Structure 1
């Protein structure tokens, strides 16, 4: 198997909304295509012409599903119909729009944000080494972006796959999936109701597209690594614990997944859907009215509902929109599946940064956090166990308790559950079976790349391990670190698996 390089990827996007509706794809007559202008690959739907950029071939904006608009809003994704029989070639030379969303730059530096969105957003992007042919059989890395299931896009320049493809000699795929209320609305259980988890269905269809088409780009469909960060990491964990996704990848990397944030049950998801209908001036469960609203109206109403619904549990406020346990797409909470042995027996790496909660805590408290306020946070978060938590995480001998809360929140939201999942997998797997790795990323970040997010300077914030288009690890981490990680993981040199966890 090819040696490849693992480059963790993250940065957020702020999107300026464009009118909803189907995006006009750009085609040229196949007879007019010149390979000197860009590489051409024939997919199951038809030929696609990409671009040569720097050290990789890039194919932007390949549709993997029909536009989820009109009657297809809040319906399972429909595979894209062919265009090849029309004698046309798709021009995959510009970034596709992101899915409708609001508020990316509220949370992250704006330099990674795309400025166009559209409800017609189910596109993927493919990056290959310049010398890749359809006989190359290269390893494939499929990335699922994060963003609380409400923001970001697979097309962000900050997890652009050019550097990874060229330096790692792999084929890289990233993609969009429906977000927020457009991807996860639940209004009922009737056939015409919005039944949620459409974003997860989109992810699975994109992964299916990879299986059917990636060989023509020089990739090996039997050597797919699925990886994602934050909500993307949660998504990878979900697919890792779902039999429906079993045939779509060989190994997985779960980065910074907040396992302590539970997916909703039906009641909580339905309640959120009811409030969205109220915000849009629709009768509850009146799908014609909901579908008549523009994508922008839905996105803004979803933000309003998420900010105002006081009946949500505290942790749900971090991810008001997202998957819910429906017994079909999501059988159980992923962490529960890991702890009970209900997951696929495949190689997996999981990990987190040492200060995941630094950005979240400092964004909420941009001033000194007193001991009294610290105690109040513990009571609100752990009403039945606040005293025990206070004993385990006592106040610091300083005026400001934010550093203590960062440690506690990092452990609670990310670290403890991730370690528990890895321990469970390690103990469940027999010697010689599929390996499991655990990493903790603890190299501090320089100010480069964080913009005005000063509280992440010289810390290890959520996303500190990720790369940008300029081939720099955010911010200032040596590429050699990632070389070591992937050397141990993807190249499978460590084949003599023992019963203990392998640490990176």
Structure 2
């Protein structure tokens, strides 16, 4: 392990290489257990990209649990100014449009099965402090089949600087590469490799983050969409219990259950056939190129493993309930008090489902189609849902379906989880809803999903959490900047103190942050179930948000894995 502090290296090593005669461009050099790594200075601090945390999962290691990275690159100095490859996924070609900046940030948009890399963002405050800073480790979304921690939209430099934390973003194996299940034999693909990659990244943080000024005993994990589902999984998995201390979950689709082993094997068998291999022939599957794996993956995109759980079509790949990494459905874990009693913040955006409904249904929906969808997805509880929402006659029922799915899949299942957490004596929990629509300066963000303009679609909060529009020459309005900075204030306080209201002297509190930030009460009945509404022109507290509809879904008991 390093014996030189990051602060010392940042001051003295920018121009001098330790024990190496070759001159590299100016940049901070940090000594790690693997050798020295050179990052780059930015206005907000320093960045180190493409740090390996696992042995490349290729060849015979495809569909094997990750192995901790264990090689030295000394005496060379590793170049930490370029990202590692993204994990293999469809699309993301160099000539593909990337209006949301979610592809790998290098010009070639490099992908590889050798993709177990993470990135570290260090704030300016390290220069003036010998104290170890809290760590915020982010897991990206993308329905477990796309995305990368090195995307520009998740660049952590501004968030790190405003929260005075070390921000880590990481890759993990995706789709068939990360979650294929072929059976339960010793050589079978057992699934959950992407989740094990996330755990391995957290182990890397425990062993190495001190070299970059971080405190391994103050780790907050956070994520959005599949990334927040990952956080929920880690909160219920004993394998991750000692690797983090609190959590933030943005838009968890709790009502989309994870596949059982039996369901995952059915999908895996179909995948194997499309890969032109015999069921159970792992040698054949490992001999296939990554492109052939992606082609087989595309062919099972609409495979239905369980006709009684059609909602899984929106999350074809992902963690499997194996009794180990994922012991049970996450909703059931929270219902039964079988989760780690750690502080957490959780919430949703206003119009979560519009992105999915309008992407799936390009034409107006008739009443007959609406009724059919309710019966197909909700079965015997479909008629009750139709009566509850009771849409008036119209030429397009997609808006009503979007509202109902937002409540069912996101908002009310989230309320169900946080209420069960409180009943299980986890009192340090906070709930929010984000309802701000993009200003006109962000019109390109939804260029390929124009139906999201004027709505608060799934993912619309990410640019405000990371404040990355600045990096692509976009600007917030004054009100948007205030909102983004108050979010950083609350999340930064949470990372430092375990309470979004308890000020830390290191968190950004000048400029656009309100002089008297709104108090965000803990979520419980005694506080009348408060919900922080992140909005413009200023945040407000709403009591018992969306009570009527969430009471309905609770009564129907539709979220749990047993329904």
Structure 1 unaligned runs (5+)? 1-27
**Alpha-carbon separation, structure 1, partners of 2:22 and 2:166:** 23
Task: Measure how far apart 1:38 and its partner are.
Answer: 1.0
**Alpha-carbon separation, structure 2, partners of 1:265 and 1:355:** 29
Q: String of CA shifts for 1:241-279, please: whole Å, max 9, x gaps.
A: 122212111110111010011111111111111111101
**Alpha-carbon separation, structure 2, partners of 1:423 and 1:107:** 41
- Choose 89-98 or 172-181, whichever is displaced more: 89-98
Alignment of 1:59-78 (within 5 A): 59-78=48-67
Alignment of 1:129-140 (within 5 A): 129-132=123-126, 135-140=130-135
Query: Number of aligned pairs?
Result: 473
- What is the aligned partner in structure 2 of residue 257 from structure 1? 252
Q: Does structure 2 conserve the Cα–Cα contact (< 8 Å) formed by 1:256 and 1:351?
A: yes
- What is the aligned partner in structure 2 of residue 288 from structure 1? 283
Tell me whether 1:239 sits opposite 2:234 in the alignment.
yes
Task: Measure how far apart 1:369 and its partner are.
Answer: 1.4
**Alpha-carbon separation, structure 2, partners of 1:163 and 1:356:** 26
Tell me whether 1:43 sits opposite 2:42 in the alignment.
no
Task: Measure how far apart 1:398 and its partner are.
Answer: 2.6
Q: Does structure 1 conserve the Cα–Cα contact (< 8 Å) formed by 2:102 and 2:147?
A: no
Q: Does structure 1 conserve the Cα–Cα contact (< 8 Å) formed by 2:225 and 2:251?
A: yes
Tell me whether 1:435 sits opposite 2:428 in the alignment.
yes
1:208 aligned counterpart, secondary structure: helix
Alignment of 1:124-163 (within 5 A): 124-132=118-126, 135-163=130-158
**CA spacing shift, 1:370–1:128, aligned 2, 3 Å:** same
**CA spacing shift, 1:170–1:29, aligned 2, 3 Å:** closer
Select the structure with the greater relative contact order (CA < 8 A; seq sep ≥ 6). 1
Task: Measure how far apart 1:168 and its partner are.
Answer: 2.2
1:478 aligned counterpart, secondary structure: helix
**Alpha-carbon separation, structure 1, partners of 2:246 and 2:351:** 26
TM-score, L = length of structure 2: 0.79
Task: Measure how far apart 1:33 and its partner are.
Answer: 5.8
- What is the aligned partner in structure 2 of residue 18 from structure 1? none
- What is the aligned partner in structure 2 of residue 337 from structure 1? 333
Task: Measure how far apart 1:434 and its partner are.
Answer: 4.4
- Choose 96-105 or 119-128, whichever is displaced more: 96-105
Alignment of 1:337-376 (within 5 A): 337-376=333-372
- What is the aligned partner in structure 1 of residue 102 from structure 2? 112
**Alpha-carbon separation, structure 2, partners of 1:309 and 1:108:** 30
- What is the aligned partner in structure 1 of residue 166 from structure 2? 171
Tell me whether 1:225 sits opposite 2:220 in the alignment.
yes
Tell me whether 1:425 sits opposite 2:449 in the alignment.
no
TM-score, L = length of structure 1: 0.88
Task: Measure how far apart 1:364 and its partner are.
Answer: 1.8
**Alpha-carbon separation, structure 2, partners of 1:355 and 1:241:** 27
Q: Does structure 2 conserve the Cα–Cα contact (< 8 Å) formed by 1:64 and 1:206?
A: yes
2:486 aligned residue (446, 464, 484): 484
2:115 aligned counterpart, secondary structure: coil
Q: Does structure 1 conserve the Cα–Cα contact (< 8 Å) formed by 2:144 and 2:318?
A: yes
1:306 aligned counterpart, secondary structure: coil
Task: Measure how far apart 1:120 and its partner are.
Answer: 0.2
1:95 aligned residue (83, 97, 101): 83
Task: Measure how far apart 1:486 and its partner are.
Answer: 4.7
Task: Measure how far apart 1:346 and its partner are.
Answer: 1.3
**Alpha-carbon separation, structure 2, partners of 1:453 and 1:207:** 34
**Alpha-carbon separation, structure 2, partners of 1:396 and 1:334:** 35
- What is the aligned partner in structure 1 of residue 182 from structure 2? 187
2:78 aligned counterpart, secondary structure: strand
Task: Measure how far apart 1:415 and its partner are.
Answer: 1.0
Task: Measure how far apart 1:194 and its partner are.
Answer: 0.8
Tell me whether 1:57 sits opposite 2:46 in the alignment.
yes
Task: Measure how far apart 1:333 and its partner are.
Answer: 0.9
Q: String of CA shifts for 1:64-113, please: whole Å, max 9, x gaps.
A: 000000111110101111315x4222111112211001146999846432
- What is the aligned partner in structure 2 of residue 121 from structure 1? 115
2:168 aligned counterpart, secondary structure: strand
